[in-house]
Amino acid sequence: MNHIVVIGSCNMDIVVLADKRPVAGETILGNELHIAHGGKGANQAVAAARVGANVTMVGCIGNDAYGEMIRTNLINNHINVDYLVTLDDVTTGTAHITLAEGDNSIIVIPGANARVDESIVDNAWSAIEQADLVMVQNEIPISTIEYIVRRCAAANIKVLLNPAPAANLDPQWMELATYITPNEHELSALYPGQDTTETVLAHSGKIIVTLGKQGVGIGENGAFRIIPGFSVTPVDTTGAGDTFNGAFAKAIVNGESLDNALRYGNAAAALSIQALGAQEGMPTHAAVTAFLAEHA
Ligand code: RIB
């Protein structure tokens, strides 16, 4: 029980704090630089491990300083890195993040993440086939995501697909995933021109739409229902969705009800945005439990 395998990206986040975003052709002075651990895959792995899941990370890093820092950080978070492959001819993934005017904007350079292919998945299959849940996001090649979703479905292994960043995936294989957790923007990329509520209702029990500080929306018994989020003062919302996914996943593999697991994920996300950096504020199980007790 409690074993989660994350197959996804590992990035080093290069975070710039500034009062505003420069317009095209403009140069401005920023305020601070932070080098922080990130990548949607690694973030979700760390979020799940912090709250007590037994996590294996499958992915690729470059043979460089950032890659080594990422491997060490995962180990320090008690994550199994036996299937984290170091590649010699490519750089570690980086994300270039501007924090300004209360929000972030991000450019991701995939680097080694673009090399997470079928052979990397096959190499980790002995861990994957023992997983209670496999988590995957859109920062590795779409063809690999399709391979993971199809192969896990054939082997009766549950998959949580977080389709971020936004991409148009083929519903034929995408809907083989057990859970799909887009935000509203990602949902419209998946089902162009369709209404959010109707799409969620048409995939009740599968699609969980994340709605920022509002919480998350699900379909149940023909009705759209929101499990509310928690109101906190944010410092940095980077990685909030990843924290939700990791904490929700851990609660689900621990046998919690859907409602309890969603509330747990919302609480973890609210706690995580109170620190700078995607992983810095990710809470422990004790912190989430205390927060939920305070907000009962
Ligand atoms: O979801 C947040 C993450 O997206 C950041 O950590 C950054 O690495 C980008 O991948």
Segment 31-53, tens digit of pLDDT? 999 999 999 999 999 999 999 99
Q: In whole angstroms, give the CA distance from residue 41 to residue 135.
A: 8
With contact defined as beta carbons under 8 Å apart, do 178 and 249 qualify?
A: no
What pLDDT is stored for residue 103 in this prediction? 87
Residue whose CA lies nearest to ligand 1 atom number 6: 38
Average pLDDT of the chain to the nearest whole number:
97
Report the atom number in ligand 1 closest to the C-alpha of 139: 10
Q: What is the pLDDT of residues 237-267, one digit of tens each?
A: 999 999 999 999 999 999 999 999 999 999 9
Active site residues: 242
203-241 pLDDT tens trace: 999 999 999 999 999 999 999 999 999 999 999 999 999
Residue at token pair 């859907």: 258
Ligand 1 neighbours, Cβ below 6 Å, are 11, 13, 38-40, 43, 95, 106, 108, 139, 238-239, 241-242, 278
pTM here? 0.97
pLDDT at position 151 is: 98
CA of 221 to the centre of ligand 1 (A): 34
Q: Is the pLDDT of residue 1 over 80?
A: no
Mutation probe of ligand 1 site: the residue of 6, 34, 96, 106 with most atoms within 8 A of C-beta:
106
